[in-house]
Structure 1
Amino acid sequence: MGINFCPCGSGQLFVDCCKDYVIGGAYPLDAETLIRSRHTAELLGCSTYIQDTWCPETYPGKDKVNMNCTQWTDMKIIDVFGGDDDIIVHVQKKYIENNCEHYVDKNLLIIRVGGKLMFYYSLE
């Protein structure tokens, strides 16, 4: 992969940030890293990582997850709050649709399943 800076918005080099999670088999230990690495996977089209970090209870199935339907461009983490097992990550994501930039704020619920933090769903 020929990218220098990590698409997650951390300002770090990809090799020092999300690469080991998205394509290297490592697993994030905190909710912010989970969300940053999932955003990177969305931008790079790494659907396996998206599936592997999505709680099986709420995963809609591979045929329902369209990695190309929304052209996400940027993400900013606004806040992270909650306990050890149920965490909410408030993000602002930017996407392009019909050549116009749009912003959406989301509260993402992260839960612990078998010791791993996993994306559960977006609280709207």
Structure 2
Amino acid sequence: MSRKHRLCPCGSGEPYAGCCGRLHRGEATAATAEQLMRSRFSAFAVGDADYLLRTWHPDTRPASLELDPAQRWTSLEILGHTGGGLLHTEGTVEFVARYRQHGHDGELRENSRFRRESGQWLYLNALAIG
């Protein structure tokens, strides 16, 4: 399946090009914190480090980001969220992101914090779970 028609890694069931692909290309911005979380997962899955840096809050953004080509992100499960809607300026999204690396399956569980500034949602940091 071509990149244009393959399903989006975020799990929406929509084609990548019309889902997170349009955010990655800069044609749209995330309307909610969850949409940004999904688009950032998809950026990890397709290897788009530039998008990850663009959507990272400047207070916590690293100077550079090197993605591991041996790590293949396979699925995203959203567990819950607080705030992060159209009328909010802050929100959290709790999720499980699954991956495969060097023949082994793994998962990342995180509760990510987001902040909206100048109309754009940005990833701030991760909160401890548990």
Same fold (TM over 0.5): yes
Query: Where does residue 80 of structure 2 map in the other structure?
Result: 79
2:66 maps to 66
Contact 1:55–1:113, Cα closer than 8 Å, also in 2: no
TM-score normalised by L of structure 2: 0.84
Q: List runs of 5+ in structure 1 lacking aligned partners.
A: none
1:108 maps to amino acid: S
Moved over 6 A (4+): none
Query: Which blocks of at least 5 consecutive residues in structure 2 are unaligned?
Result: none
The equivalent of 1:104 in structure 2 is 108
Q: How does 1:1-124 map to 2 (within 5 A)?
A: 2-3=2-3, 4-62=6-64, 65-68=65-68, 70-82=71-83, 84-124=88-128
Q: Deviations over 1:26-68 (max 9, x none)?
A: 2111111101111111111111111110001100111xx2211
Equivalent pairs counted in the alignment come to 122
Percent identical among aligned pairs is 30
How many angstroms apart in 2 are the aligned matches of 1:23 and 1:98? 30
Equivalent-residue separation in structure 1 for 2:99 and 2:16 (angstroms): 21
Looking at structure 2, the residues matched to 16 and 59 of structure 1 have their Cα atoms a distance apart, in angstroms, of 27
Counterparts of 2:80 and 2:60 in 1: how far apart (Å)?
Answer: 23
Between the aligned partners of 1:99 and 1:37, the Cα distance in structure 2 is 25
With the length of structure 1 as denominator, give the TM-score of the two structures.
0.87
